[in-house]
Amino acid sequence: MTITQDTLKKNNEAQKDIRTFVMKCGGSTLAALPDAFFEDLQKLQAEGMQPVIVHGGGPAISENLAKLGIETEFVNGLRKTTEPVLDVVEMVLAGSINKQIVRRIQSSGGKALGLSGVDGGLIQAKPVSNHAEVGHVGDVTRIEASIIQGVLDMGYMPIIAPIGIDGDGQRYNINADTAAGAVASHLGASRLIVVTDVPGIMKNVNGVKKVLGTVAVQEIQDMIQTGEIYGGMIPKVKAAIECIQGKVKEVIIVDGSEPSVLSRVLQGEVIGTRIVRM
Ligand SMILES: Nc1ncnc2c1ncn2[C@@H]1O[C@H](COP(=O)(O)OP(=O)(O)O)[C@@H](O)[C@H]1O
Ligand SMILES: CC(=O)N[C@@H](CCC(=O)OP(=O)(O)O)C(=O)O
């Protein structure tokens, strides 16, 4: 039997599809994540999975801005980002938070390499359409997927801080959910796992709050309209809707404090909320 180059390429792509997943880790849950979460991540890496991590850090940015006496406010879930705010955003995300995650993975025996979206032009960005109102906030135009792939090929988990850059060297503050969705899309990953501080998308059903197991795009749009999805959940579901139009097959929103949550999601256990194409 002769194996053609084409078959080999297809097999490699199928393998990559199964092994690579993107995980977004929200600032809401980072500090509270137990060591067991990072041990689970390390176990997955040791088993041959290739996690790519994009992290947030909203609460830590707000805390540091408050300490420095710099005012901060959000417009539709996006932080108004002036030049002094941008300095703090970069310092916190690419500095302390990124390195904290790298350290915790390394302490669990995993291999991690921290990057910001500025490094190697990893996250290329342009101003958001309402930049006059929100300042230096960016939308992703391109992800330099070869850098991520190179880090994975060296056996490390890329840990990515959501700062973008454009051709003129201007930096942008990018919402971490938006950045994670773009990384998953451009990388051709089949899954994006969003780790946060709630067990999924919750809905009031007959006066009882329930976690939706699976949710389709139309229901999400209705829930944004009625205000049942608000605040920090909005950029998550918007990023999810955008990336499931492409190669990403599902976005799963889960609570980081659930034991072995990543392994359980990857084994197909019904946990959290799955946003799927329907
Ligand atoms: N329908 C919903 N179900 C669950 N959480 C929701 C919903 N709508 C809004 N939220 C809010 O979204 C928050 C998660 O977003 P956010 O605080 O930005 O987290 P992260 O830092 O993980 O990105 C929850 O803590 C909750 O307050
Ligand atoms: C433009 C914008 O709002 N950027 C976010 C980036 C961090 C983030 O998204 O962190 P979480 O995932 O913890 O919310 C911010 O400045 O807070």
Coil, strand or helix at 204: strand
- 146 by Cβ neighbours in 10 Å (0-12 / 13-18 / 19+) ranks as exposed
Residue nearest to atom 15 of ligand 2 (CA): 58
Coil, strand or helix at 113: strand
**Closest of 275, 249, 273 to residue 261, by C-alpha:** 273
Counting ligand 1 atoms within 8 A of each CB, the residue from 29, 78, 196 with the most, and so the one to mutate, is 196
**Closest of 147, 99, 102 to residue 121, by C-alpha:** 147
CB 117 within 8 A of CB 163: yes
pLDDT of residue 225: 95
pLDDT of residue 10: 63
Max Cα-Cα span within the chain: 70
> Using the 8-state DSSP alphabet, how is residue 60 labeled?
H
CA–CA gap between residue 149 and residue 156 (Å, rounded): 10
Cβ atoms within 10 Å, residue 105: 24
User: Is it true that domain 34-188 has CATH number 3.40.1160.10?
Assistant: yes
CA–CA gap between residue 273 and residue 275 (Å, rounded): 6
Q: How far is the CA of 42 from the centre of ligand 2 (A)?
A: 26
Binned at pLDDT 50, 70 and 90, residue 62 comes out as: very high
pLDDT of residue 6: 72
The proportion of the chain whose per-residue pLDDT surpasses 70, expressed as a percent, equals 94
- Closest atom of ligand 2 to 24 CA is 12
Q: Which residues line ligand 2 (CB under 6 A)?
A: 26-28, 56-58, 61, 78-79, 89, 137, 162, 173, 175-176, 232
ipTM exceeds 0.90, yes or no: yes
Distance of CA 13 to the CA centre of its chain: 22
Binned at pLDDT 50, 70 and 90, residue 18 comes out as: confident
Counting ligand 2 atoms within 8 A of each CB, the residue from 75, 86, 173, 192 with the most, and so the one to mutate, is 173
Lowest mean pLDDT among 1-10, 95-104, 144-153: 1-10
Task: Round to the nearest angstrom and report the end-to-end CA distance of the chain.
Answer: 39
pLDDT of residue 87: 98
9 pLDDT above the threshold of 80: no
The closest ligand to the CA of 176 turns out to be 2
pLDDT of residue 77: 86
79 is in an annotated binding site: yes
Residue 254 identity? V
**Token pair of 181, please?**
């969705």
Residue 165 identity? I
Cβ atoms within 10 Å, residue 153: 10
Q: Which residues line ligand 1 (CB under 6 A)?
A: 26-29, 56, 58, 196-198, 201-202, 228-233
The CATH homologous superfamily for domain 190-278 is Acetylglutamate kinase-like (3.40.1160.10)
- Give mean pLDDT, residues 146-166: 97
Where does the chain hold its CATH 3.40.1160.10 domain(s)? 34-188, 190-278
pLDDT of residue 64: 98
